[in-house]
Structure 1
């Protein structure tokens, strides 16, 4: 099989056997993959620190017939983001980015927009003191890329503009409805949270002001987005529980 060269972001890596590493990564041109890095624990000559989680790397690998794993040949570090983990809360937030990436990013399918999103979010964690803006930005855009985000500026039922009034979320039906169309049991989404979401959809992360983005501001929108993701993926997010416990 021919040697493949591509930009990639390392999601996870762990020991495998006596000397190898098993690596989960997201490749710009080939989607999400898993690979075996032979002798990566015994010698740093071919891989060095370029298999650390949350690393942007240049990666060379071979695809193997009848195998889910590719064989990693070499990697070069472009930018390392593992030092942004810092305190426990930030480390858990970055862990959620990895968990969402492994859950929702397409396997073996090119997804340049998702690659650029993940890279921008890692840059956001590195540059901003607040973790809640880049984390919520990633939650929102992953929900949208998965096709699970309803229109945020108009009622999903009657199409009436929501304006400055609260909206009401139906997670199971993927709807966001107005006061007139709501039914009992729907969760309220405030105008402020919808405004934050619309701003994030309209602007690159690097251009959004980070001031005022604390856990309280992110809570309502983040809770709704994670409810949507968990419902449609039929999977409970481990990092969600851990971040809630850290509050």
Structure 2
């Protein structure tokens, strides 16, 4: 046992004992990591607010038998504007929730960490709304190897795919459409494909397709494959 170094974005925290917290953070090399921050809930904690959700931090940890203990923390990025706007805060919380749901312990997550960092930077810089969340979730699906087929039938590759199936993995033609596949409004598939190809910090311009519609399809697709609801989205869409 000894000291080790790591860095990542804090996903969530929860109480542990009278004054300690468990800090759950996403690391590029170690995936989802749980560690102890001793005395962090005390008024004069030496950690201050540096171990709150959304904080991108550099850490020194003392290796423990079950949980490592955080001994030093330095801020890399705090994304300060997220905390000043309720919409940004809810959208950022959704990003953290999704990352927490897909990240695994002891599994390298460099792609997911970079995506989360760039998504939070976009929010901090004033980019937000349904299109940003759609792009984020489509790219999370891509990181997981679950990116939906949006330009051709997921079953046979035909270009005339008019229905969408969560089970089949994207758009499907009439011949391949399983039970439960449903027809999307004109333009939705093309807009989804445009968003999937875009940079999360440089979104395409507005579309005639309502952003809530593309987000709804993407949310349900990801929830289907995660086998869980994205709770923060319920707050976002109220």
Same fold (TM over 0.5): yes
Query: Who is 1:241 aligned against?
Result: 234
Query: Who is 1:71 aligned against?
Result: 69
Summarize the Cα distance change of 1:213–1:242 in structure 2 as closer, same or farther, 3 Å threshold.
farther
Where in structure 2 are there 5+ consecutive unaligned residues? Answer: none
**Shift of the alpha carbon at 1:113?**
1.0
The 10-residue stretch of structure 1 (35-44 or 166-175) with the greater mean CA deviation from structure 2? 166-175
CA contact (8 A) 1:133 1:218 kept: yes
Query: Who is 1:217 aligned against?
Result: 210
**Shift of the alpha carbon at 1:191?**
5.7
Output one character per residue of 1:73-121: Cα deviation in whole Å (capped at 9) or x when no partner.
Answer: 1111111125414443332222211111111122221111111101000
The 10-residue stretch of structure 1 (175-184 or 134-143) with the greater mean CA deviation from structure 2? 175-184
Describe the SS at the equivalent of 1:48: coil
Match among 72, 78, 81 for residue 80 of structure 1 = 78
CA contact (8 A) 1:55 1:80 kept: yes
Describe the SS at the equivalent of 2:146: coil
1:77-156 correspondence runs (5 A): 77-81=75-79, 83-156=81-154
**Shift of the alpha carbon at 1:181?**
4.3
Query: Who is 1:48 aligned against?
Result: 48
Summarize the Cα distance change of 1:158–1:75 in structure 2 as closer, same or farther, 3 Å threshold.
same
Describe the SS at the equivalent of 1:54: coil
CA contact (8 A) 2:10 2:26 kept: yes
The 10-residue stretch of structure 1 (74-83 or 51-60) with the greater mean CA deviation from structure 2? 74-83
Describe the SS at the equivalent of 2:141: helix
CA contact (8 A) 1:33 1:70 kept: no
**Shift of the alpha carbon at 1:190?**
4.6
Describe the SS at the equivalent of 2:201: helix
Describe the SS at the equivalent of 2:7: strand
Say how many residue pairs are matched: 237
CA contact (8 A) 2:130 2:215 kept: no
Summarize the Cα distance change of 1:13–1:180 in structure 2 as closer, same or farther, 3 Å threshold.
same
Output one character per residue of 1:140-192: Cα deviation in whole Å (capped at 9) or x when no partner.
Answer: 11122222223211112231224xxx631111332421356446642233564
